Structure 1
Amino acid sequence: MIVRGALAAILLFVLAPAPAQAALDKDGVRWSVQPSTAKGPDGRDYIVRRAAPGERLTDYVGITNLTAEPLTFNVYGTDAFTTEDGSFSLLAAAQKPTDVGSWIGLAAAKYTVPANTRLDVPFSVSVPANATPGDHAGGVVTSIAQETTGANGQKVLVDQRVAARVYLTVAGAAAPKLTIDNVRMEYSQSANPADGGSMTVRYLVRNAGNLRLSGTGSVKVTGPFGWKLAQTGAMDIPELLPGGSITITEKITGVQPTVRLAADVDVQPLYFAERLPAVARSTNVWAWPWALLAVLGAALLYLVFRFARGRRRRPTPLAKDVTS
């Protein structure tokens, strides 16, 4: 929340498959945004287009006013990014786009839509001649900012945004690439040697290429001589935009300490349904079986004690008197 004087700003943002809808409960303001044509929606979930550098495209978004009063919207293009948890999001309204969002042009900055009516708004995408090949992601945003009064009497500016995603692939050399960075492993032993211990493996998956990629990741735990101790199932990695990343955390229980443990991380990248070459990375950690060693040590000390005590109790043989 940003407070300027007595005015606070709140941002509500909806990004969803078509049609994306939003609502302000107090005032009953509701509308939807979806990919469209000059004649109406065409069933697309997202706006997905291909273009060559220097090419200009035209497309539409359908803005449907679902209330009984006319609504005026701010409409503009902006860039997308991957959040820390792997979600698709768009830049805040105050941030200036530098990628596909800056290539999007509209005839006006504001559009008024009559009550219970859909307006199909055209927009253009002018691809620069020096645009980099690969996938570029953004959105066409519709927003309404309204001033309301909070429970404490403070005036609050609520900026509600609904957007249609835009995916643009610029022609050129494709370079899909996922990397695994910062693999970290922690091991914690149980007090009961029979229970083994728990292992936590964290690794960062980064999209270092120029295509949006998803995939699956798994972790295999091995001991000395490649002895397999555990393996996780495939975990889905959400779609990562070029430059995006996500940290995956896997927790594995019941892992026996075998002095040296290794975690092998394997990631299978996917470009839509196409499988790409897998990437892997490993790390290891010392895991001394302290509990077992303590039990064995205690048992050894007990045996030594019993042996020493037995020797102390053994009677000394009497010397014989030998005379000639």
Structure 2
Amino acid sequence: MRPIRLALPATALLLCALWAPAAQAAPAASGDWTAAPASGGGTRPSADGRPCFYLEGAPGTVLEDTVSLSNPTGIPVTLKLRGAAAYNTATGAFAVRQAPDPWIALAAPEVKIPPHTRADVPFAVTVPAGAQPGDHPAALVATAGGREVGVRLQLRVSGPTLSALTVESVRIDKGRGLIWYALVNRGNTALTPRLALRADGMFGRALDRPARTLPVELLPGQRVELSEPWPHPPALDRVTVHLDVTADGGAHSTVEASAAFVPWGVVGGAALALLAGAAGVLRLVRRRGRRVAESPEPPVRERELAQTGAGQ
């Protein structure tokens, strides 16, 4: 466990944008309890109503903020709180670990909120002395009655940053009309990648899509597998697919893959027709051969008489 120091009073109470772990941010249902950042906190400049926690500090420092929990219902609710490190699921969604993040300490791990009441709970983030520079995404998670709500914590450790990514493992799924590929964040900052896609064939360009922002936030050290639809590929061609991915900070990667498109149904039908025609010709040749072989020749004596008569 990394050492935790909590330099906050245990009496404060807070609220931020909601998100169900492993899903995108979403508002709370009407009448449900909520969680969000308290107004005005954080070490990065931000206005009230901030959607997430923004904290930044050097290794060895303690950063403080407050989460606001609100209970608009007519019954009391008891919320359990924990800090959790974040990661990308295999398909790129934002998710959090089940184990508590040892960098994060809450003033109260459990809070009982009376009806129509808000509670502000302070917390501290202790950045270890040996922490690597860059982004360390996390979240504060509140749980009650089988419902779990997360408030994102964007934590950056001061120091040199590197934006780098690679695109790899490209494959063309001709059956489902998809181009699969993997993105890997090789740097130490969260990235929002942009993808440009084209396909060049023997008969010209078969696909051309300008760069667009992908619906994924690629966290440091994470690998995700994504796909692009290709509903109308060429019927007969050999193509080379080019993927070009960029992100802020100078991150850039390109890769290509080749595939042959052959209308096997048509080719198979033509081949069957050729085979059937060849078989028919072969049967005809054999039939004629049998007729020639079976025709009777005249006896030797008759041939001799015929030759003698011809000589006379």
Unaligned segments of structure 1, at least 5 residues: 1-12, 146-158, 189-197, 303-324
Task: State which of 57, 61, 65 in structure 2 corresponds to 1:59.
Answer: 65
The residue number in structure 2 matching 1:246 is: 224
Say whether the 8 Å CA contact 1:82–1:241 is kept in structure 2: yes
Structure 1 runs (4+) deviating above 4 angstroms are 15-20, 288-299
The residue number in structure 2 matching 1:223 is: 201
Q: Deviations over 1:127-174 (max 9, x none)?
A: 0001111101111111114xxxxxxxxxxxxx2211211010001221
2:20 corresponds to 1:14? yes
The residue number in structure 1 matching 2:85 is: 79
Looking at secondary structure, tell me which structure has more strand per residue. 1
Q: Deviations over 1:244-264 (max 9, x none)?
A: 233222232444356532111
Residues 125, 235 of structure 1: alpha-carbon distance in 2 compared, 3 angstrom cutoff: closer
The residue number in structure 1 matching 2:151 is: 164
Say whether the 8 Å CA contact 2:24–2:93 is kept in structure 1: no
Residues 296, 134 of structure 1: alpha-carbon distance in 2 compared, 3 angstrom cutoff: same
Say whether the 8 Å CA contact 1:38–1:60 is kept in structure 2: no
Superposed CA RMSD: 3.3
Say whether the 8 Å CA contact 1:59–1:123 is kept in structure 2: yes
Unaligned segments of structure 2, at least 5 residues: 1-18, 42-46, 278-312
Post-superposition offset of 1:42: 2.5
Post-superposition offset of 1:67: 1.2
Residues 53, 291 of structure 1: alpha-carbon distance in 2 compared, 3 angstrom cutoff: same
How far apart in 2 are the matches of 1:203 and 1:17?
A: 22
Task: State which of 52, 66, 69 in structure 2 corresponds to 1:46.
Answer: 52
Post-superposition offset of 1:63: 0.5
Correspondence 1:67-146 to 2 at 5 A: 67-92=73-98, 96-97=99-100, 101-145=101-145
Say whether the 8 Å CA contact 1:20–1:34 is kept in structure 2: no
The residue number in structure 2 matching 1:35 is: 37
Task: State which of 166, 178, 181 in structure 2 corresponds to 1:179.
Answer: 166
Residues 72, 294 of structure 1: alpha-carbon distance in 2 compared, 3 angstrom cutoff: closer
Say whether the 8 Å CA contact 1:219–1:265 is kept in structure 2: yes
Say whether the 8 Å CA contact 1:268–1:278 is kept in structure 2: yes
Task: Please state whether the residue corresponding to 1:214 is helix, strand or coil.
Answer: coil
Say whether the 8 Å CA contact 1:18–1:34 is kept in structure 2: no
Residues 186, 65 of structure 1: alpha-carbon distance in 2 compared, 3 angstrom cutoff: closer
Say whether the 8 Å CA contact 1:77–1:141 is kept in structure 2: yes
Give, as a single letter, the amino acid of the residue that structure 2 aligns with 1:232. Answer: R
What percent of counterpart residues are identical?
30
How far apart in 1 are the matches of 2:165 and 2:251?
A: 10
How far apart in 1 are the matches of 2:144 and 2:267?
A: 67
Say whether the 8 Å CA contact 2:238–2:259 is kept in structure 1: yes
Task: State which of 221, 232, 235 in structure 1 corresponds to 2:209.
Answer: 232
TM (normalized to structure 1)?
0.67
How far apart in 2 are the matches of 1:241 and 1:80?
A: 8
Post-superposition offset of 1:119: 1.1
Residues 245, 118 of structure 1: alpha-carbon distance in 2 compared, 3 angstrom cutoff: same
The residue number in structure 1 matching 2:252 is: 278
How far apart in 2 are the matches of 1:19 and 1:64?
A: 16
Post-superposition offset of 1:269: 1.6
Say whether the 8 Å CA contact 2:193–2:218 is kept in structure 1: no
Say whether the 8 Å CA contact 1:74–1:144 is kept in structure 2: yes
**How many correspondences in the alignment?**
251
Residues 187, 208 of structure 1: alpha-carbon distance in 2 compared, 3 angstrom cutoff: same
How far apart in 2 are the matches of 1:87 and 1:266?
A: 22
Post-superposition offset of 1:215: 1.7
How far apart in 1 are the matches of 2:52 and 2:270?
A: 64
Residues 18, 123 of structure 1: alpha-carbon distance in 2 compared, 3 angstrom cutoff: farther
Say whether the 8 Å CA contact 1:186–1:285 is kept in structure 2: no
Q: Deviations over 1:265-315 (max 9, x none)?
A: 111223xxx6x343110111234576887899989xx9xxxxxxxxxxxxx
Say whether the 8 Å CA contact 1:37–1:59 is kept in structure 2: no
Give, as a single letter, the amino acid of the residue that structure 2 aligns with 1:184. Answer: R
Task: Please state whether the residue corresponding to 1:123 is helix, strand or coil.
Answer: strand
The residue number in structure 1 matching 2:184 is: 206
How far apart in 2 are the matches of 1:254 and 1:181?
A: 23
Q: Which moved more, 1:125-134 or 1:179-188?
A: 179-188
